[in-house]
Structure 1
Amino acid sequence: MSGRTVSSAILILVLGSFFATLCDVFIKMADVDVAIFQFTFFRAVFMCLILCPIAVVKYLGSDRSMARLGLKLHFIRGNMWVLAAVLLVISLAELPLATANAVFYTAPIFIMLFGAFFYKERLSVDVVLAAVLGFIGTLVILRPTEITFAMISAILFAIVLAANSLLIKKIPQEQSMLYGLFVTQLFALPMASGLAIWEGEVFEIEILIYAALSSICSILYSLSCLLGYRYVASSKVTSAEYSGLIFAFLLGWWIFGETPDLGVFVGSLFVIMPLLYLSHRDIRRLRKEQLLSNTRSNLGAG
């Protein structure tokens, strides 16, 4: 699976979505009474330990000045990761796996809205409609007769995830993404450790196990994104990531005995279908541009 063809890139992203869902499973298995800040700290530690050899190789094999680029950005993203990780644990502790994941998939909608606000990207009627339908879908999924902290955490996680994803655009292109991920996690350690000390919970070996497993899955997901989007236009393959919702339904039912009701399915359609439409629209636009470019080239050759 090289990721150089559309089919192989889609398969890689589907596998990545499975690992992302598996990461959520291990976090949820840590139990509702888990020491949240301690768990977040150990996740950051394990991600640093796993990425460290790769980062050293990248550092030694590149211009040393490149390694110091974007440090302020990595610092911001590292601390945002801590916030997102805490919100993720809180939401998964109480919400069913499929319900939480369905809400998480509103992140692309927030990315489009933030992109229009911060980067002055064009906000079309389709994007606005997708945002409205996504909001309706979230309400259908959660059906908030009473607002719980887990519901708020799931929505805030999607918002923080979207903001953190947009910051990737500012990372220097010449810097390795895996090296950048290592530096980001390194900058997450001070805040994560400070919160863990402030929390003052007793250490439990189970936290270490689930933190390690979830960290491995998280890195595998990051690698899949790196390979899946490296050679193929993102609009052609990004819909493959929505397979994660299917994995969430299946793993939630198989491991936790959760049976999603009709509301979760209907709400998920409200969230996912507009995003699939936007992806399909971009594919058609790219094909038209490529066809026009080929026609001009043929006319020029003639």
Structure 2
Amino acid sequence: MTKMQLKGDQERIAKPFAMPSAVIASQATRPQFGIILCLLSMLIFASQDGVTKVLVKDLPVAQLVMVRYWVFVIFALGYAAYQGSIKESLHSRHPWLQIMRALIGVGEIALFGIGLRYLGLAEMHALYAVFPLMTLGLAGAFLGEFIGLRRWIAAAIGFSGTLIILRPGAGVFELAALIPLLSALGFAVFNVLTRKISQNDTFATNMFYMAGFGAIAVTIVGLPGWVTPTPMQGILMGVLSLTGVIAQLFLIQALKYATAATLQPFNYTLLVFATLIGLIIFGELPDTWTVIGAALVIIGGIYAIKSKT
């Protein structure tokens, strides 16, 4: 959750509440401190995915997302009250787009959780990391944003990396690999909608709709299938929910001290942290092709963000 409307290609690579995470820093005077906070937030996000991977073995994904959104609602209400008025946060120039965005956001998070049942952390994040390039294409098509030659080259590089990871026709392709790609597409659509509505609606309004309608939707699905967690699972669910807020607050603070352009390359450390957690905790060793493909996806993403033409 952040305080700025999305501009350009300053999205994050992260998985807390699928909220926009570019913040206009009025005084980005301590970039080193901002980078440290950004790295901490990425480490927490990666750790969250590790916890989720453990929990989805025995608990419904909808239940995990539901609990996280309940905490999210509390945070959104607190933020709206802090900004002045909860009632004012209800006023939107784009209420139907807000609702659509909230539903896409919660669905995208659920898809990512389902993917963790079948794929390793490194594979999930390597494929999901293509979402900034998807956002780039969608923003050009639906928002009329200019996409120059260099950004198309960046998109081609990232797409090549995705194909290397998937290796269609090589006998190693899994249908489960489409899950993180669908999740990435959902997050790309989410970001494009955010850009659109943020031209008129405040961050408090964006967050209020995202939390409220997301919580309603996932509760309708998740509550009927509730599985009583063990004490340890209950603790992990609590950790999962609270650390999401903490990581987002770290990211907000990071973007106060450093610009989004400065921090963007460090957002890709999420893939590095996720790979290390997958290796140390789950014994998942990504193969050479996954590493090469992920490197190309990251290069394409950074090149797209840095390119102006």
Q: TM-score range by the shorter chain?
A: 0.7 to 0.9
Please name the residue that 2:191 is paired with: 165
How far did 1:207 drift? 5.3
> After the TM superposition, which of the residue ranges 45-54 and 92-101 deviates more from structure 2?
45-54
Q: Is 1:46 the equivalent of 2:71? A: yes
Name the structure 2 match of 1:155. Answer: 181
1:171/1:81 CA distance change after superposition, 3 Å: same
- State the alpha-carbon separation in 2 of the partners of residues 149 and 179 from structure 1: 37
Spell out, residue by residue over 1:214-267, the C-alpha distance to the aligned partner (whole angstroms, 9 max, x if none).
222332333334333356442232111011111112111111111122112101
Residue type matched to 2:132 in 1? P
Match of 1:134 in 2: 158
SS in 1 for 2:56: coil
CA distance in 2, matches of 1:94, 1:28: 9
Matched, 1:72 2:99: no
| TM-score, normalisation: structure 2 | 0.79
C-alpha contact 2:28 2:256 (8 A) present in aligned 1: yes
Match of 1:212 among 224, 231, 238: 238
Cα shift readout 1:31-58 (whole Å, capped 9, x = no counterpart): 3343122222222112223443333322
1:245 aligned onto 2:271: yes
More helix by share: 1
Give the TM-score of the pair, scaled to structure 1: 0.81
Residues of 1 paired with 2:240 and 2:82: CA distance?
24
- Which of 35, 44, 59 is equivalent to 2:60? 35
Q: Larger deviation: 22-31 or 65-74?
A: 65-74
One-letter code of the match for 1:129? I
Residue 297 of structure 1 corresponds to which residue in structure 2? none
Gaps of 5+ in 2: 1-26
212-221 or 244-253: bigger deviation: 212-221
Deviations 1:132-166 (A, max 9, x none): 22222122223353654431111011111111122
**The one of 258, 265, 285 aligned to 2:291:** 265
**Partners of 2:133 and 2:304 within 8 A in 1:** no
1:15 paired residue number: 40
Quote the Cα distance in structure 1 between the aligned partners of 2:35 and 2:202: 22
8 Å Cα contact 2:62-2:222 kept in structure 1: yes
Instruction: Report what 1:143 is aligned to.
Output: 167
Conservation of the 8 A alpha-carbon contact between 2:157 and 2:300? yes
CA gap 1:14/1:103 in 2 versus in 1, 3 angstroms: same
Q: Could you tell me how far apart the structure 2 residues matched to 1:132 and 1:279 are?
A: 14
Q: Does 1:191 align with 2:217?
A: yes
Determine if the alignment matches structure 1 residue 24 to structure 2 residue 49. yes
CA contact (8 A) 2:91 2:205 kept: no
**Per-residue deviation, 1:116:** 0.5
**Counterpart amino acid of 2:98?**
H
Structure 2 letter corresponding to 1:25: G
1:81 and 2:105 are equivalent in the alignment: yes
Q: 1:116 to 1:207 in 2, by over 3 A?
A: farther
| Structure 1 residue 100: Cα displacement | 0.5
Asked if 1:223 is matched to 2:244, the reply is no
Q: How many residues align?
A: 280
* Cα pair distance change 1:173/1:115, threshold 3 Å: closer
Which letter maps to 2:185?
I
Within the alignment, does 1:106 sit opposite 2:127 as a pair? no
Higher Cα radius of gyration: 1
- Measure the CA separation in 1 of the matches of 2:54 and 2:222: 20
Aligned-residue sequence identity (percent) comes to 23
Q: CA RMSD in A?
A: 2.8
Alignment correspondent of 1:299: none
Match of residue 296 from structure 1? none
Q: Find the aligned partners of 2:59 and 2:238 in 1 and give their Cα distance.
A: 15
Question: How far apart in 2 are the matches of 1:105 and 1:92?
Answer: 15
Q: Do the aligned partners of 1:81 and 1:188 also contact (CA within 8 Å) in 2?
A: yes
The 3-state SS of whatever aligns with 1:229 is helix
Provide the C-alpha distance between the structure 2 equivalents of 1:4 and 1:174, rounded to a whole number of angstroms: 29
Q: Structure 1's 209 and 173: CA in aligned 2 closer, same or farther, altered over 3 A?
A: farther
Question: Matches of 1:183 and 1:88 in 2, distance apart?
Answer: 21
